[in-house]
Chain A
Amino acid sequence: LAKTTQPISMDSYEGQEVNITCSHNNIATNDYITWYQQFPSQGPRFIIQGYKTKVTNEVASLFIPADRKSSTLSLPRVSLSDTAVYYCLVGENNAGNMLTFGGGTRLMVKP
């Protein structure tokens, strides 16, 4: 399993763009990168997934450099409701059981 490293916490202000970077130096060829969001006392929720380059959806963008040893989750113009823990997971796309949730990054958005 590819181990991931993310900052423990980050602070931001409403309206700013937030970038959370995850390191995964041992990512395997078949591994995808997936990000989840978790609010207090709720289960994690899928945000975005990618394999390489850039992926964008209505919630976020995911930037993956050519060597795939890291990835950056970008949240445009955050609001207070984006305060949550964000998890970066790396694993094969067809093996949900192999996804390992680390400690995540605790994002605090301030007014």
Chain B
Amino acid sequence: DADVTQTPRNRITKTGKRIMLECSQTKGHDRMYWYRQDPGLGLRLIYYSFDVKDINKGEISDGYSVSRQAQAKFSLSLESAIPNQTALYFCATSGREGVQETQYFGPGTRLLVL
């Protein structure tokens, strides 16, 4: 079973709709992240959470909100979707593996906003 899962994997929605992307992890990590990736570009950090009570804005948080329901769950919401939020969204966790802080990514959610 995958360590980091995302649902849905693909979603088409319309401008103005509210949409939630969900992420679950079985790594037991405290830290979780949401990124977006646009075609041909790198990943940009939207929000991150160091534990259930800690939520922080990333590089591009406008238009997004998050909820850390439990250590294992971190959801990303688009309150009112707009076409330029069409992208590939990745959830990730991070933990120290020995001496290394390593990030583990989910399979991604491909979102299309019409």
Chain A contacts to B: CB under 8 angstroms: 32, 34, 36, 41-46, 49, 87, 93-97, 99-104
Contact = CB atoms under 8 A, between A and B. Distances in A.
Interface size, B (range): 20 to 34
Interface in B32-79: 33, 35, 40-45, 48, 50, 56, 58-59
B20 interface: no
Contacts of A87: 42
A101 B94 contact: no
B56 A44 contact: no
Contacts, number: 63
B2 to A, nearest CB: 10
A34 B99 CA distance: 12
A11 to B, nearest CB: 17
Interface of A is mostly: loop
Sorted nearest first, the 6 A-B pairs with minimum C-beta distance are A43-B105, A96-B94, A101-B43, A101-B42, A97-B48, A46-B102
B94 A43 contact: no
Interface string B76-114: 000000000000101010101001111111111010000
B43 A44 contact: yes
B105 A44 contact: yes
B94 to A, nearest CB: 3
Given A41-B88, A100-B45, A94 B108 contact: no
Contact of A43 (B40, B48, B50, B107): B107
B102 A49 contact: yes
Given A42-B108, A44-B43, A99 B99 contact: no
B33 A97 contact: yes
Given A49-B100, A101-B43, A102-B42, A43 B31 contact: no
Contacts of B96: 93-94
Most chain B beta carbons < 10 A, residue from A36, A99, A104: A99
Of B31, B43, B94, B110, chain A has the most CB atoms within 10 Å of the CB of: B43
A44 B106 CA distance: 9
